[in-house]
Amino acid sequence: MEEYYVDKKAQSNGEHVIHVATCSCIDSVNDKENLGAFFSFQSAVQEAERRGYTANGCKICCLSCHTE
């Protein structure tokens, strides 16, 4: 399992980007919330949405989950 974080600061389109803890850009995210550890990125997205975020995958660590 991997730990996932959601950027608490929304993008200009209102989406909050989700990263894995090992993402190369995670250090540039100053204000992030730990979502917990999940087996899949989709589960992390569901958790973020359960917490009220409109979530999208990070282009760097989760390109397969990123939607335009």
Using CB under 5 A as the criterion, which residues of the chain lie in contact with Zn ion when the complex forms?
19, 23, 25, 58, 60-61
Kindly tell me the burial class for residue 22, based on how many C-beta atoms sit within 10 Å of its own C-beta (0-12, 13-18, 19 or more): exposed
Nearest-approach distance from CB 25 to Zn ion, in angstroms? 5
Nearest-approach distance from CB 52 to Zn ion, in angstroms? 21
Nearest-approach distance from CB 35 to Zn ion, in angstroms? 13
* Cα(55)–Cα(66) distance, integer angstroms: 10
Question: Which of residues 44 and 61 has its CB atom nearest to Zn ion in the complex?
Answer: 61
Backbone angles phi, psi at 56, to 5 degrees: -145, 155
